[in-house]
């Protein structure tokens, strides 16, 4: 039996999705780590820890698809968008937004100090080795920064932003043998009115697009660099089992809060069939 079947018993997926999810989650929990925070609900598990340590505990092919957005090594949270540096960096804006939400409460003081200096180095070769070992297929953002093999299928995210001194697109490498794809949505304003809780937060709609294009029903998804949790929310909205790992405690707690809000909103709408 392959390691993946052990983690996600595929024969149960179509027949009884509810019970399959709990079986999958409880089996996954056996790869638990004592020195970390682990949060679980009935479709997702998140770990506040280093993804290298997490992946080291997994069998080969544990996940169907890894959708990851690792560090590019370009100090992106501190970049200033447009105007030759006259505008504030996303990191500064995030901090201020948190401050404006009610500075003075303990929670906001803590979040106000969120670290934005993690994007100094790209991931090691060992990271990619492990990623390819623990997942059957991969979608990797930052494709233009990493040494990855040639592929037929890249995904281009057109951020619809006019400033030429800042990336106007992001490129994801995929392991899929499919035509290259284009997703177009502004990373700020316009169609993307999501509240920012992370300096390099990607839209939920982008992850939904990727899941709908590349994941089959019942596929399990891994995100090794969870950040704001947009990938987790998209997996939840599309009904996929999901595991996310985030090393930073503040980002981890912030995405837990964001996820809980989305989840309760969806449960409310579902309850009244809205």
* Residues within the interface to ligand SAM (CB under 6 A): 50-52, 69, 71, 118, 198, 200-202, 224-225, 227-228, 230, 245-248, 251
Q: How far is the CB of 12 from ligand SAM (least distance, A)?
A: 30
| Pairing verdict, β 135-141 and 63-68 | parallel
Question: Which residue, 98 or 202, has its beta carbon nearer to ligand SAM?
Answer: 202
Distances in whole angstroms, Cα of residue 49 to Cα of each of 22, 84, 87: 23, 36, 33
The residue of the chain with the least Cβ separation from ligand SAM equals 227
Question: Which residue, 135 or 201, has its beta carbon nearer to ligand SAM?
Answer: 201
Q: How far is the CB of 115 from ligand SAM (least distance, A)?
A: 7
Q: How far is the CB of 90 from ligand SAM (least distance, A)?
A: 11
Q: Are 70 and 127 in contact (CB under 8 A)?
A: yes
Q: How far is the CB of 111 from ligand SAM (least distance, A)?
A: 13
Question: Which residue, 26 or 190, has its beta carbon nearer to ligand SAM?
Answer: 190
Question: Which residue, 13 or 242, has its beta carbon nearer to ligand SAM?
Answer: 242
Q: Are 258 and 264 in contact (CB under 8 A)?
A: no
Number of other CB atoms surrounding residue 103 within 10 Å? 11
The position carrying tokens 């070769």 is 125
Q: Which residues contact 176 (CB under 8 A, 6 or more apart)?
A: 137, 139, 151, 152, 153, 214
């Amino acid at each position: 039996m392959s390691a993946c079947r052990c983690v996600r018993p595929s024969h149960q997926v179509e027949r009884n999705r509810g019970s399959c999810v709990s079986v999958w989650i409880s089996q996954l929990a056996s790869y638990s780590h004592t020195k970390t925070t682990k949060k679980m609900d009935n479709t997702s598990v998140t770990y506040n820890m280093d993804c290298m340590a997490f992946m080291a505990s997994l069998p080969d092919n544990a996940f169907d698809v890894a959708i990851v957005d690792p560090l590019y090594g370009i100090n992106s949270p501190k970049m200033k968008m447009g105007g030759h540096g006259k505008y504030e960096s996303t990191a500064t804006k995030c901090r201020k937004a948190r401050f404006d939400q009610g500075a003075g409460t303990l929670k906001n003081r803590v979040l106000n100090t969120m670290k934005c200096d993690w994007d100094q180095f790209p991931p090691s070769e060992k990271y990619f080795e492990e990623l390819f070992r623990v997942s059957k297929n991969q979608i990797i953002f930052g494709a233009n920064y990493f040494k990855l093999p040639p592929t037929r299928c890249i995904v281009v995210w057109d951020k619809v932003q006019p400033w030429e001194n800042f990336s106007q697109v992001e490129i994801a490498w995929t392991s899929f043998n499919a035509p290259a794809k284009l997703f177009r949505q502004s990373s700020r304003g316009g169609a993307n009115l999501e509240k920012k809780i992370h300096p390099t937060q990607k839209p939920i709609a982008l992850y939904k697009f990727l899941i709908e294009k590349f994941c089959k029903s019942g596929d399990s998804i891994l995100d090794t660099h969870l950040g704001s949790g947009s990938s987790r929310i998209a997996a939840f909205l599309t009904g996929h089992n999901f595991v996310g790992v985030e090393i930073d405690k503040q980002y981890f707690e912030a995405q837990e809060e964001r996820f809980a809000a989305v989840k309760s909103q969806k449960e409310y709408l579902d309850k009244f069939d809205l």
